[in-house]
Structure 1
Amino acid sequence: MKTSDKTIYKNMSLCSFGNGANLTAVDSKDGKVVRMRPVHYDEHYTKEDLNYWTINAKGHTFEPGMKTLNSPFTFIYKTRTYSPNRIPFPLKRVDWDPNGERNPQNRGKSKFERISWDEATDIIASEIKRIDETYGRNSIFCQGDGHGETGSIHGPHGTMANLLDMTGGLTMQARQPDSWEGWYWGAKHAWGNEPLGQNTHQHNLFKDISENSDALLFWGCDPETTPWGWSGQQASRLCFWFTEIGVKQIHIAPDVNYANAVHSDMWIPILPNTDAAMQLAIAYVWMTEGTYDTEYVKTHTDGFDWFEYYVLGNEDGVPKTPEWAEEKCHVPAYRIKALARYWAKHNVSIGHCNGGSYIRSCYSHEPARLEVYLLAMQAVGKPGRNQVKFIEWALIGMDSFNPLPPGHFLPEVRACYHGSVLGELPASFIPKTLVPQCITVKEGEKVEWYGHTTSRHHRTDQFKHFQFPQDGDHGIKMIWSDSPCWSTCWNGGNEFQDALTNPNLEFFLVEHPWMENDTLFADMILPISTTLELDDFGVDTYSGQFNSVIWEEHACDHQYESLSDYEAVVEVAKKLEKFGGIYEDCASHLTGDMTVEEWQEIGYRGSGIPEDEQDLELIKKQGYQMLPTREGWDKEPAGMIEFYEDPDNNPMETPTGKIEFYSTGLANFFPDDPERQPVAKWIEESESHHERISCERAKDYPFLLVSNHPRWRIHANFDDCPWTREIETCKVVGEDGYAYEPVWINPVDAEKLGIKSGDIVEVFNERGTVLGGAYVSERIIPGAVLQDHGAETDPIVSGVGGIDRGGANNLIAPSNTSSKNAAGEVTGGYLVGVRKCDINALKEKYPEAFDTQYYTAETGTNVYDYLQEA
C-alpha cells in the first residue's frame, strides 16, 4: 500500500557517478520524501521478460530475485537531505575580504556570514578573472573528482572543470586509484590487467567459484560492508550461498569484520600491513615441498628464478620461512604451513572488496604483486582458481550479462554530460596525494613525481616524469572544490589543513550540501542540492541482478537556496559572460542551450539500449527500464581460463605477455629503487617510511592502525545520520555525552593501558591526535587497533600536531606516498600510540573549541553553529 501521492525512481548508489546500483522507489507526499523502499521488478516485468538467470551448483540454485537488494544507506538517505547540517544559503568567511585582508591564517577558525547568490557569483567570477590575468589560468586548481552522489546531468563532480576548461584552462586534481593503490602500483607490473591492475577478467567468476572452488580467501576484505555504497546486498547473499554449497570462506585480516563474523570458516589474524611476510612464507613452503605447479610456471610466467633465489634466502642470507614470517606478521608458523598445504591441494580463489588497509599502506605494491605470484604458482585461470575483483560492484562482470556498457554511457554521450571530469588531464595537474606539497611549494621550486596516477592510465604511464608548477606558472592561488573531504579521506590530512592556511592560497571556494570536513576551511561556500531534489538520468549496472536505466525525477523541492552543482556553475558562467572575450557565451556552451529534460533524452538515447528496444514514453511513465540478461552468458569463458589454456594466443598485458615475477618495466626504468624492485620483496623500512613494529618509532607508537572502509558510512558520507549513530559499533557515547568514533582494542592491550569499553581515548603519533571511544573486543588482534576511516573532522586544534575530536584518523596518516616512485596514498597500517583521554583537561586547555558542541550524540553537526549570527 502506497503512502504517497507520487513515486519516483532513483539510482541511489551513493559513491559513484551516473552509474552504480540501488534502483530505489521514493515515495513523496506534499513535496516531501516520506519513504524510500526497494523496487519490485515484477510490478512491470516477468522473469521471462528479464531472461531470468540462475547458477546451479552442487544440487543448489542461486538466483537474483525479483526485488532490488538495496543498501541500508538507501533507506536512511532522506535524513541527509533533511539534515540540520545542510548549508542553507551562500556563505562567506567573515574575515575574508576579496578587496582587502584575506586572513588565510584564520581558515578553519573564523565563522561565516550569509550572502546572496548574486553577490557570491559576482565575487567568484571576478576572482577567476583576476587570478587569470595576474597569475595565469593554471593557478586555479579544480578539486572535482572522487566519490559523490550518483548523478549524470547535475553530476557529483567536475562541472566547474568543464567551465574552466572551455574558458582558458585550469590545474586539475588527478584522481588516485585509492581503494586499489597496491594493485595499480604493483600488480600491473606482474600481470598487466589494465586498467586497474586487479583482475579484469571477471566473466562468470562466481559461476566458476560455485562449480569448481573448494575455498575462497577473503584477504583484507569485508563483503558485508564495502559493497553498501555501490551495489547493495548481493555480495552478502553470495557469501551465504557459498556456505550453502560448501565453499569454505577463509578470512585473513587483523580484525573480525562483519563478513568474517557471519560467514568465515576460519579467521587468520594478521598484523596490519604485514601480509607480504606471510605471502613470502607460503611461497617458501611450496618451493621447499615442491607443491606448486611447475609446468604452469614454466609456460605462463617469466623470471620465477629471480623470485625463488630471493625467497630461499640466496640473495640476503635470510630464507623466508614461516618462522621468519611469524616474527613479522604474528601468524604462527604452523598456521602458515597449514594454509600453504591446504591451498596447494585444493582449488582456491581470492576475493577482494578493493582490499581495505591491505592495499592502502606503505609499500602496498609489494603484497599486491606477491598475491599475483602466489596465484601464478597455483595456475591462476584454472577452473576454481582465480581472483575476484570488486565483489561489491558486479556479480559476474555485468557487460557479459547485458548489452548496456558497464558503468557509463557511451563515450560520445559522456562527453556532453556536465558532471563528468575531463576525459584527459590537462598539462597542469596534481596527483591527489601531493596536493598539500603543491599548495605550499615556494616560487622557483618544483614538486616532482611519476605517472598521471589515475587508475585508467596504462602501466607504462608510471614511467613518465611530471612536475608542478609548469615552467612559467605561479602555483595555486585559487581552489574550487566540489569534493571537500580531502583531509578526511587521504593521506596526511593535518598537513593538508595547514596547507589551506598558507598565504599562497588566496581564495578557497567550496560547493557542497553539508557543512563538514574541508568545507570548514573555505572562504566561500555554495549550497548544493542532494540527488533527491533533482531531475536526472541514471544507469544501474552494479547490482549483480539486472541492469536498468532510470528516468529520475525530483522527489522533493530544492531545500533552502540550494542549487545543483550544474546549476551553480551555470550561474557563475552567466556572470563571467559580462567580461566578454573568452567568457562570451560560456553559459550557453555549458548548457548546450538545452533543458534538463532534453539532456535526459540524450542520456537515454545513448545509454546502450538497442534502438529497437528504446521507448521514451515508456521510461518517462514507468520511471525505469530493465534490460534482459544476455543470451548465452553462461557459455562465455570464465575468468582467466583462456590464458590458462593458451597463453601464447591470449597473452597478459606485460612486456613478455606472461605473468612476470621479474618486472622488466621496473628493471628498465627504476633499476635502483630499493622500495619497489623488479621482484616483490619484504621492505622493513626505508627513506620513505618507518612504520614497522621493529623500528625506533614503535617505542613511542607501538600499535598498528587498521583503517577500513567504514561500516556505518560511505567514506565521509553519513557520519551525521541519527539512525545509525544509535548503533553501538557506530559511535561510542562518552562520559561527556559526545558521540565518539569507536576504537577497537584487544582486551590484552586494553588491560595494559588501563582502558575499558566506553572510555574516551587518544590515538596519536607525532603528526597529531584523534579522539575515539574505546570498544574493547577480541575481534581485533593484539598489537593493532581499529578505527574506520571517514569520520567527520571536528578540530580542537587543526593542522600538524593538532587534535581532532571527530576521530578522522586520516589526519595523522603519513604524508609520504606508497614509496618514492609510486604516488599512492598511505592511510592504514601505520604506527600510533593509544592512551586514555582526560577530556576535562582538554576542555580547560582549549575552552574556545568546546564553546559549542558541534557534534551531538543524536544528529551530528548543526550548520548554524558555524555562522556568525545564527
Structure 2
Amino acid sequence: MTRTQESTAHWGTFQVEISDDGRAVVETRPYPDDPDAAPAIAAVAEGLRHPSRVTRPAVRRRWLERGPGPDPLRGSPDDPYVEVDWDEALDLLADELRRVRAAHGNRAIFGGSYGWGSAGRFHHAQSQLHRFLNSIGGYTRSINDYSRGASLVLLPHLIGPIGMRELRNRPPSWGHIAEHTDLLIAFGGLRRSNTWVVPGGHDRHVGTRLARDAAASTRIVSVSAQRDDTLTELDAEWVGIRPGTDTAVLLALTHTLVAEGLADDAFLATHTVGADRVRAYLRGETDGVEKTPEWAEALSGVPARTIRDLARRAASGRTLVNVTYSLQRAEHGEQAVFAAVTFAGFLGQIGLPGGGFTHGYGSMGDYGVGVAPVPLPTFPQGRNPVTDFIPCARITDLLLHGGETIPYDGGTLDLPDIRLVYWAGGNPFHHHQDLRRLSEALTGVDTLVVNEFHWTPTARHADIVLPAATGLERDDLAAGAGDTRLRTMPRAVEPVGDAREEFWIYDQLARRLDADYAEGRDSREWLEKIYEDWRERPDTPDAPPFADFWRDGGTPLPQHHYRDGAFTDFRADPVAHPLDTPSGRIELFSATLDGFGLDDTAGHAVWIDTAEAAGSPYDLQLLCTQPSHRLHSQLDMAAPSRSTKVAGREPVRLHPEDAAARGLTDGDLAIVRSAQGSLLAGVVTTDTLLPGVARMHTGAWYDPSAPRIADCINGNVNVLTKDIGTSHLTQASSGARVAVSIARYDGEVPPIRAYEPPPLATR
C-alpha cells in the first residue's frame, strides 16, 4: 500500500508515491496532465537514499587535526573525513566563524550560495545562508548570475534598468507571436529542454505547447551551429553558423538594412540615439572594414545571399529578434546582445505587438507564457553591512587575488582577502570554469564549509560538510514567475540519517554566536508567517488563511495576462514615457560605455574576433550546453542522467565527418583536450551539428581520480573551459564554448569514483 502527495522542483510539480509506513519514497513521477514533463522528475526518488547521500556531519581529517589554513591536499580524491555529531560540528564551525571575524573582519567571509538547491520559497538556500551571515555581521557577496551575467550589466546601459525589467517580465507572449509575428529569428535556437526549468518550478509545463501553436502562423528561423537546437514540431528553418560569429551576422544584417534603404529612419530618429555612429562603423569608416554580408560570410560560414535575404524578409513584415542566454556566455558575448538590439532598432519594430527584440525564448520555461510575475512569499534576508561584492563568475579571481582589484562596469572592484567560504544550495564544480584553477583557489582558503544533500565535488573539497534535508524532507511552498498556483510542498518522509533543515543549522549556529536568526520562531511558524505576510498584500486579496491553503494543497495566483509586450508606452510616446537611460531613448551608441575607455568595449556594438590562432592544435569548437535529463549537475548519479551516458561517461557529439577524420565511431571513448585541461567522453555522431563543431552537456560530476589519464574521467566539460570574464565591462561567465582537440582513447579505462562518498577515518 502507498499514498501519493505533491511536491515541486525547479523542473516542475510532480507526484510523490510514499510507502504505507511513511518511511520511503517509492516513486516520483510527473502529473499525467503535464503536457511536457521533464525527465529529471524520475530522479528525485533515487537521489533521496543514494549511496552518495551525506547522512552525518563530517569534517576533513587534516583540517580537524591541523586546524584552519591553506592545504594543497584539499579536494584530493583520497582525502579522508571524520564523521562527528552535530554539537561538535556546530561548535567547530562557530569557533571558526568567530576567529575569522575577530582576526580579519566579516568581509573575509564569502557567502557562496548560488541558488537552485530547492524550489521552495522558504527553504531557499541562498536566502537562508545570507540571512544567517547578515545576522552575524555580513559577508562578501556575489551579484548577477551565470545565465545572463553579461546581459545584466550591458542592457541597462542600452534600455535602462526599468527597460531591462520590462524585457524580462513582459516579453511578447507566444500568443502575441502567433497573432502578430511574421518572422521569429532565434539566434542560438529554441531548445526544448531549457523550457522545462523555471526558478521555483511551474505547476504545468505549457511553453512548448504555446510555441507549437505559434509556429502554425509564424515562420521561425534558427541561427545556430546545431540543427536540433529547436523543437522539431516548430518546423524551423535552419541557418548554420560557426560558433561565436553571431555578432558578425547581426552587423551584416543591419548593414543590409542601411545599404538597401530598409532601415526605419523615423524610428531611429525619435526613439534611439547613436544611429549615425553605428552607420559609420558598418561602412568601415572607423576601422577600415565594411560589415558587408560577404565579410560576415567569411567569418560565420553563412552565405552572403542568406544574410541579405534574411534582412529583407525581416524588413518586409513583423519580426521578432531573439537571442538566447548562451550567446552572451562567451568571450565578448555581450556584443551579440548589443548587435541584436541594434538590428532590431534599425528594423524599427521595438514596442510593436510581436516585434522588436527579446532575450530569453529557449532559455527559461517561464519566458513568453504571457503572465506577468506577481510578488511571491520570501524569507527576509536582513541587511548586509559589508559592501564588498564580486560578479558571481569571478570567484576564482577573488580567492587567488585577494587584496587586488578587477575592472567592472566602468569602475574597479576591490577583492577582499577571503579566509572562509560558506557554500549552500549549489555546486561551483558545475557552474564555474577551468576547474583545475578553481580547485587550486580553494586550497588557499582557511576553511570551506558546505551544506549538502550529496557528496558532490564541492562537498569533497570542503573542510566541514553539514547534511541538509532535501525538498522531500521538509515543509515548504513553491511557485515560479508567471505561475498559476502557489503550491504546498509537504514533507514526504523524515530526513535521511542525521540530515537537518538548513533553518535549524543556522539557528543553532546563530545561538552559539549570540545572534538572533530565528526571531523566536521555528521553521513551521516562519513558513506560516511568510505566507500570511504575502496574503496581506493588496495584490493577493483572494488568498485563504494558511490553514486552508495547506489543507487544499495550494491557492491560485493572480493571472495578469498582459496584452502588450515590453516598450509599448515608450513606442507610443517616447517623450511622455522615456526609458531610464541618460538620453531617455534606446542607446545604440552609449556615451557612458564609450567614456569608460575600455579596450574591449565601445559605445556601439562591435565585432571582436576570438578565433584560435592559425596552427592551434585545438581545431574543433566545443559547445557547452545545458543538460536535458538533469538540472545543471543535480542528480547526475540517478537513472535519467545515466540513461544519456555513453561508455559510462558524459557523451561528446561530433559530426560524422569529424569523427571519421579521427577514427571515431559511436560508443568509442575519446579524450578531449583544451588549453585548460582534459576529459574522457563517450562518442556520439550526429549530422545535426556543423562540421568543425562538437557538443557536450555541462553538469557531469567532476572526477579527478585518475590525473595520469585526464583531469576529469567522467566528462565534466568545465575542466576545458576558460575562466576569463566576458569583458572588462561585464566580467561574466565565458563558458559556453571552447576550442578543443578530440582523439580516440584506447588506454586504461579507470572506474568512475565521482558518485562514491569519500573515505571515512577515525581520529
* Length-normalised TM-score, structure 2: 0.92
Quick one: structure 1 residues 817 and 540, their matched pair in 2 at CA, closer, same or farther if it must change by over 3 Å?
A: closer
Instruction: Pick the aligned partner of 2:212 from 240, 246, 249.
Output: 240
1:599 equivalenced with 2:513 (yes/no)? no
Does the residue aligned with 1:95 lie in a helix, a strand or coil? helix
Call closer, same or farther: CA 1:268–1:204 in 2, change over 3 Å.
closer
Q: 1:797 to 1:680 in 2, by over 3 A?
A: farther
Q: 1:424 to 1:332 in 2, by over 3 A?
A: farther
Matched with 1:185 is: 153
For residues 306-455 of structure 1, the aligned pairs below 5 Å read 306-352=277-323, 354-356=324-326, 358-379=327-348, 380-391=350-361, 392-394=364-366, 396=368, 400=372, 404-405=374-375, 408-409=376-377, 414=378, 416-417=379-380, 420=381, 426-441=386-401, 445-450=403-408
Instruction: Give the match for residue 8 of structure 1.
Output: 5
Which residue of structure 2 lines up, in the alignment, with residue 176 of structure 1? 144
1:490 aligns with 2:432: yes
CA distance in 2, matches of 1:638, 1:176: 24
Secondary structure of 2:637's aligned partner: coil
Q: Secondary structure at the match of 1:192?
A: helix
The verdict on how the C-alpha distance between 1:258 and 1:699 changes in structure 2, with shifts beyond 3 A counting, is closer
Matching of residue 478 in structure 1 with residue 425 in structure 2: no
What CA distance in whole angstroms lies between the structure 2 residues aligned with 1:292 and 1:553?
56
Cα distance change of structure 1 residues 347 and 204 upon mapping to structure 2, 3 Å threshold = closer
1:21-42, CA deviations, whole angstroms, 9 ceiling, x for partnerless residues?
A: x3334332321223445568xx
Contact 1:494-1:802 at 8 Å conserved across structures: no
Amino acid at match of 1:692: A
Counterpart of 1:676 (choices 571, 593, 601) is 601
1:638–1:131 Cα change, 3 Å: closer
* Higher mean displacement: 332-341 or 176-185: 176-185
2:756 corresponds in structure 1 to 862
Shift of 1:868: 4.4
What are structure 2's unaligned runs of at least 5 residues? none
Q: Distance in 1 between matches of 2:62 and 2:438?
A: 21
Q: 1:650 aligns with which of 577, 583, 587?
A: 577
Kept in 2, the 8 Å contact 1:746–1:782? The answer is yes
Deviation at 1:169, TM superposition (A): 2.7
8 Å contact kept, 2:138–2:384? no
Alignment RMSD (CA, Å): 2.6
Q: Give the drift of 1:111.
A: 2.4
- The one-letter code of the counterpart of 2:753 is Y
* 1:141-197: CA deviation from partner (whole Å, max 9, x where unpaired): 22123332112332222423322322233222x133321233223333222254757
What does residue 161 of structure 1 align with? 130
TM-score (norm 1): 0.81
* 1:420-454 Cα distance to aligned partner (Å, 9 max, x none): 5x666832333322222222236xx413232xxxx
Distance of aligned partners of 1:805 and 1:550 in 2 relative to their CA distance in 1, 3 Å threshold: same
- Contact conserved, 1:361 with 1:826, CA < 8 A, in 2? yes
Check 1:626–1:298 CA distance in 2 against 1; reply closer, same or farther (3 A cut). same
- Percent identity reads 22
In 2, distance between residues paired with 1:796 and 1:776? 28
Contact 2:186–2:221 at 8 Å: present in 1 too? yes
Give the whole-Å Cα distance in 1 for the aligned partners of 2:557 and 2:426. 36
- The answer to whether the Cα contact below 8 Å between 1:23 and 1:540 also exists between their aligned partners in 2 is no
Q: Is the 8 A contact 1:746 1:776 kept in 2?
A: yes
| C-alpha displacement of 1:481 | 1.0
1:251 and 2:222 matched = yes
Q: Secondary structure at the match of 2:148?
A: helix
Match for 2:174: what amino acid? F
| Residue in 2 that maps onto 1:501 | 443
SS state at 1:430 partner:
strand
Match of 2:695 in 1: 786
SS at match of 1:190: helix
Structure 2 Cα separation of the partners of residues 763 and 101 of structure 1 = 37
Aligned residues: 748
Which whole-Å deviations, capped at 9, do the CAs of 1:348-388 have from their partners, x for residues lacking one?
21345x522x1200001111110001111112222331334
CA contact (8 A) 1:222 1:257 kept: no
CA deviation profile, 1:17-74 (whole Å, cap 9, x unmatched): xxxxx3334332321223445568xxxxxxxxxxxxxxxxxxxxxxxxx767543323
C-alpha displacement of 1:645: 2.2
* CA separation of 1:35 and 1:387: change in aligned 2, threshold 3 A: farther
Distance 1:162 1:751, change over 3 A: same
**5+ residue gaps in structure 1?**
15-21, 41-65, 451-461, 470-474, 577-582, 685-690, 734-738, 844-849, 856-860
In the aligned structure 1, how far is the partner of 2:345 from the partner of 2:252? 15
3-state SS of paired residue (2:399):
helix
Give the letter for the 1:180 counterpart. R
Structure 1 residues 123-138: aligned runs within 5 Å? 123-138=92-107
Q: CA deviation at 1:798?
A: 6.7
Tell me how far apart the structure 1 counterparts of residues 130 and 576 of structure 2 sit (CA, whole Å): 42
Shifted more, 231-240 versus 365-374: the winner is 231-240
**Pair 1:557-2:528 in alignment:** no
Cα deviation, residue 558, structure 1: 0.5
> In the superposition, relative to structure 1, how do residues 39 and 783 fare at CA in structure 2: closer, same or farther (>3 Å)?
closer
Q: Please say if residues 194 and 200 of structure 1, whose CA atoms lie closer than 8 Å, have aligned partners that are also in contact.
A: no
Instruction: State the 1:683 CA deviation.
Output: 0.7
Deviation at 1:113, TM superposition (A): 2.6
What amino acid maps onto 1:23 in structure 2?
A: T
Determine which of 413, 438, 442 is the counterpart of 1:466. Answer: 413
User: How many angstroms apart in 1 are the aligned matches of 2:302 and 2:238?
Assistant: 11
Q: Aligned in 2, Cα 1:175/1:103: closer, same or farther, shift over 3 Å?
A: closer
Task: Supply the distance in 1 between the matched residues of 2:194 and 2:115 (Cα, whole angstroms).
Answer: 16
Judged with a 3 Å threshold, the aligned counterparts in structure 2 of structure 1 residues 540 and 179 are, in CA distance, closer, same or farther, namely closer
Residues 178/599 of structure 1: CA separation in 2 closer, same or farther (3 Å cut)? same
1:537 paired with 2:477, answer: yes
